[in-house]
Structure 1
């Protein structure tokens, strides 16, 4: 991933005061631009970020990219004002500074912004007295910005070439109108949010489980088959990334997962495709590969009626040399674990 910041400006969105403090000048310090670039890279690569689509009432809808770049400071100020008004209306949204960027990511230009929510911290304070003595104190600072190693809680990237072709939003849920919900895509960017990679992977697994219920019944053994297939694709994906020496590589299409699960079952394949369509997922799109989401699938939890829980790696789920599932006459299943080391 290659990221370059062409322009950056910082606006203060502190709801303790009555209006945002808008800057008229770009940020020039190289250290500050490096700091913002590090945060932007983490926001862009976040597994919680969502692909979105601009709505007709969006701030960006119908805008001209060249004009947006020429009037970058003014446009960022307008959007910061809109952001601040939403924060005033919803007190649960924390105060912070909004860093607006004109940034190039892998050759594509984006108008981007990150809200750097304040963190409380401690700093030393040196004071020289009239009599020539000095004192060092520790004072609490309420408006510390996140560390350069942190990931912003809120950010968005709007593609400028062409306008709105790609929109990515990283947002957080706050108590809004009586319930926890995100607001950034809807109220500030003006976009319809899609699913994050983690949510999309969960939706694909859910669709497969629905199909398994239809064709196999509630046997309780088909969910790990889905997990094992996803984990196998993830291992292949990570191998391709390692061999290409790049941070990203092309993931297999969802259709390949379907082939692994239902290759010789045309009716199940058709049902799987329908379940995906209901979740706005198509067979030829890349299978999402969020590391945290896949890691959750690598071990399946089995629970007994008495509360005993065992985690079984999906890699050995069908290995009869390691474990064996025994069907009981009463409909329950017993688990025989082999090769135990004491």
Structure 2
């Protein structure tokens, strides 16, 4: 995906200054700054923590975006957004200082407005000063360093100005961006998966004497679906895991519906999610930990869970030709 930038501007939102510092002119982009901004935008697009969102009826920004943003209109909008951000920062008290970037760009034939905040971090650097003795280099702590392009920002939105669809990333404790932009956010991929695991774990623990097998079966079904289709079709996964037990299946389906994810089909682009379900980790009350490929749990030639007469469990590992001490 290639990005063509139209307008970009940066404003300083430093709480120690007690007021925002507005840029009066657009940011001049070179290859390095274009790459820096592009990488941050792509992380918002691709993050499993990002979620789709829509504007509420009372939102004012869609009305502004009905008209094309020339340089003057874009700059004026950026000042207004910076003021709103700074007001929220002052009111909440938990939102850190940072610089606000607004950028209008084209990608794959679509028009977008990206707004994200680069929160400051502290790093040590050198400082050179001149005195009577000559040049002196000192080490100082710089409090206005941006996160690197390899790091994901905490706060950002990307708006498709053609259809007003929004991608929202809000990793702050305050979760204030949906209020600031008057948005109705959906669950992110990450939060949707958490909801699936939470509901399934609760139902399994309520209905099964040995929840380990059922939970591993669930993870294996998810892992196989991701490997095969790069998706998690929620209804299909529930049928595969609980279809033979009508009571459990109905309980799980009903609770999934409460989260609004019963019919969801989650697209998985983040390899970290695939890796999470590809392996399973168990810890016993005796302190023993086991980690193994999820699909092997279903194969009795390699792993078997035995219910003992005294109510305890035994895990039998089979066909091992070599053990490595790590």
Scaled by the length of structure 2, the TM-score of the pair is: 0.85
1:46-104 deviation digits (Å, cap 9, x = unpaired): 11112222223434243343244561111111011000011111222110100011123
Instruction: For structure 1, list consecutive stretches of 5 or more residues without a partner in the other structure.
Output: 175-180, 239-250
The 8 Å contact of residues 201 and 289 in structure 1, kept in 2 or not, is answered as no
The 8 Å contact of residues 39 and 150 in structure 2, kept in 1 or not, is answered as yes
Q: Does 1:183 align with 2:176?
A: yes
The 8 Å contact of residues 3 and 41 in structure 1, kept in 2 or not, is answered as no
Instruction: For structure 2, list consecutive stretches of 5 or more residues without a partner in the other structure.
Output: none
Q: 1:93 to 1:46 in 2, by over 3 A?
A: same
Q: Which moved more, 1:259-268 or 1:203-212?
A: 259-268
**What residue is the counterpart of 2:315 in the other structure?**
335
Q: Does 1:89 align with 2:91?
A: yes
Q: Does 1:277 align with 2:279?
A: no
**How far does residue 189 in structure 1 lie from its aligned partner after superposition?**
1.7
Supply the distance in 2 between the matched residues of 1:155 and 1:252 (Cα, whole angstroms).
26
**How far does residue 153 in structure 1 lie from its aligned partner after superposition?**
1.7
Partner secondary structure for residue 62 of structure 1: helix
Partner secondary structure for residue 147 of structure 2: coil
Supply the distance in 1 between the matched residues of 2:49 and 2:264 (Cα, whole angstroms).
22
Supply the distance in 1 between the matched residues of 2:234 and 2:107 (Cα, whole angstroms).
26
Supply the distance in 2 between the matched residues of 1:273 and 1:287 (Cα, whole angstroms).
20
1:219 to 197, 204, 210: 210
**What residue is the counterpart of 1:177 in the other structure?**
none
**What residue is the counterpart of 1:245 in the other structure?**
none
Partner secondary structure for residue 265 of structure 2: coil
Partner secondary structure for residue 319 of structure 2: coil
The 8 Å contact of residues 128 and 135 in structure 2, kept in 1 or not, is answered as yes
Q: Which moved more, 1:51-60 or 1:313-322?
A: 51-60
**What residue is the counterpart of 2:45 in the other structure?**
44
Q: Does 1:15 align with 2:15?
A: yes
Supply the distance in 1 between the matched residues of 2:293 and 2:78 (Cα, whole angstroms).
49
1:77 to 76, 79, 89: 79
Q: Which moved more, 1:92-101 or 1:65-74?
A: 65-74
CA RMSD of aligned residues (A): 2.8
Supply the distance in 2 between the matched residues of 1:68 and 1:60 (Cα, whole angstroms).
12
Supply the distance in 2 between the matched residues of 1:161 and 1:228 (Cα, whole angstroms).
40
Supply the distance in 1 between the matched residues of 2:135 and 2:217 (Cα, whole angstroms).
69
**How far does residue 233 in structure 1 lie from its aligned partner after superposition?**
1.6
Q: Does 1:192 align with 2:184?
A: yes
The 8 Å contact of residues 20 and 86 in structure 2, kept in 1 or not, is answered as yes
Q: Does 1:205 align with 2:206?
A: no
Q: Does 1:304 align with 2:284?
A: yes
The 8 Å contact of residues 115 and 154 in structure 1, kept in 2 or not, is answered as yes
**How far does residue 336 in structure 1 lie from its aligned partner after superposition?**
1.0
**How far does residue 231 in structure 1 lie from its aligned partner after superposition?**
0.9
**What residue is the counterpart of 1:246 in the other structure?**
none
Supply the distance in 2 between the matched residues of 1:304 and 1:255 (Cα, whole angstroms).
31
Q: Which moved more, 1:280-289 or 1:106-115?
A: 280-289
Matched positions, count: 319
